[in-house]
Amino acid sequence: MTQATAGNGKKDQPTWLEVTSEGFSVTLKYPTELCHSVVDKVSMRSPTVREIRAADVASNGDAEKRELLLFSSLTTIPTADLETLKYRDYRRLQAGYFRLVDEDEL
């Protein structure tokens, strides 16, 4: 017996992730105080080449710092606040980012 798959051939998307043409939103598992407000959702827009290059330069070769700086720029959330996210929620941001920047058809 075979199972029917939903959708049009694209990778299944988790219920906590909403991707748009401009970016994505993730629903947090653990509501967190970010920018002086408790939130349960974080949005990130698509990066420009300039922003990726700026994060590269500012991080001085530190990959984790580069990612935090880039995510901070794309969400307008300070890096210190991003560091307060539970790891599970940070992984959701990473998953959304990589879906956003990966080519759909490859």
pLDDT (tens digit, 9 = 90+) per residue, 42-92?
A: 999 999 999 999 999 999 999 999 999 999 999 999 999 999 999 999 999
Task: Give the separation between CA 104 and CA 80, rounded to whole angstroms.
Answer: 32
Domain extent listing, the chain: 18-101
pTM of the model: 0.83
Output the pLDDT for position 104: 66
The three-class DSSP label of residue 40 is strand
For the chain, how are helix, strand and coil distributed in percent, rounded to 5? 40, 25, 35
Nearest to 32 by CA among 97, 95, 100, 88: 88
- 47 — phi, psi (to 5°)? -80, 155
